[in-house]
């Protein structure tokens, strides 16, 4: 990235309706050379500009090992996200990035991996899940726990079916409120802990979701014996400018957008309350 403030033009290739209020956009950069050189790591994010509306940060949810395009998943909650939801294939936006730090990937090879996601917290973790599948023999036991409000509110339903059919990962899902189609567990995602066996000493846990969910997930992981450095989360919900200038994401002496958004529990627990 040559200029932190200069967005590159990117065009929408595909739009997938995930839930009634969430869509996934696949994009590529119009500049062929820039698009070919574009690379990122699991957990990084981009700033997307909707011309005339504004700019907002979005975690990359695509596989960083697969080049040529990238994906973001967007819940319609404000001016920029609502404008994105009105877009169609072929529309062009400005994109800055990749920005921020990343999930440890090569650093956790050889260990067991536990993913704990809630609702729209699955997208940034998908940028880690898919590379693990690509390098599956580099990792130990692989477990994914996913919770959502309802069956309809689950994102990536096709991918969830594919993951559930694999024999090299254990995927457990739960919902807060079942409907007539749901035959799985009902309850918050932490209720799934009693259904799995993990060795905290050889497992790294990655979690993302609503703040209240993350709080209880970390509380349970600590009770299970996980070390502070083996619990990894992302705090991207606080970010705005993406380059540490606006101060919107400052918590104590940390800027979430440049020092994070990925932090271990050892780092998070010393941050001031916000």
Residue 34 is inside which H or E element, if any? helix 32-37
Which tokens is 240 given? Answer: 């705005």
**63 contact partners, CB below 8 Å, separation of at least 6:** 127, 130, 131, 134
**What separation in angstroms does the CA of 250 have from each of 47, 95, 255?**
17, 23, 4
pLDDT of residue 2: 65
CA neighbor of 136 nearest in space, from 172, 156, 109: 109
Please state, in angstroms and rounded to a whole number, the distance separating the CA atoms of residues 218 and 225: 11
Residue 112 token pair:
């067991």
User: Quick one: what percent of the chain has pLDDT higher than 90?
Assistant: 85
What are the tens digits of pLDDT across the range 99-118?
999 999 999 999 999 999 99
d(CA 71, CA 61): 6
Instruction: State the pTM of this model.
Output: 0.94
Q: What is the pLDDT of residues 121-132, one digit of tens each?
A: 999 999 999 999
């Amino acid at each position: 990235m040559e200029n932190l403030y200069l967005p590159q033009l990117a065009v929408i290739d595909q739009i997938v309706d995930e839930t009634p209020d969430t869509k996934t956009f696949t994009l590529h950069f119009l500049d062929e050379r820039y698009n070919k050189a574009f690379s990122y790591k699991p957990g990084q994010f981009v700033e997307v500009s909707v011309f005339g509306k504004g700019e907002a940060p979005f975690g990359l949810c695509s596989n960083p090992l697969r080049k040529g395009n990238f994906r973001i998943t967007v819940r319609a909650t404000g001016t920029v996200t609502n404008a994105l939801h009105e877009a169609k294939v072929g529309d062009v936006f400005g994109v800055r990035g990749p920005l921020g730090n990343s999930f440890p990937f090569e650093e956790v090879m050889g260990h067991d991996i536990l993913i704990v996601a809630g609702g729209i917290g699955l997208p940034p973790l998908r940028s880690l899940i898919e590379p693990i599948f690509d390098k599956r023999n580099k990792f130990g036991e692989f477990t994914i726990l996913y919770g959502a409000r309802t069956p309809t509110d689950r994102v990536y339903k096709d991918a969830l079916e594919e993951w559930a059919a694999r024999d090299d990962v254990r995927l457990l899902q739960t919902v807060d409120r079942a409907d007539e189609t749901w035959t799985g567990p009902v309850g918050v995602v932490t209720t799934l802990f009693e259904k799995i066996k993990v060795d905290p000493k050889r497992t790294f846990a990655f979690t993302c979701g609503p703040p209240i969910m993350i709080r209880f997930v970390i509380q349970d992981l600590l009770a299970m014996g996980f070390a502070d450095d083996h619990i990894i989360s992302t705090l991207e919900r606080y970010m705005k400018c993406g380059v540490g200038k606006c101060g919107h994401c400052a918590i104590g002496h940390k800027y979430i957008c440049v020092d994070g958004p990925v932090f271990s529990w050892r780092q998070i627990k010393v941050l001031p309350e916000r």
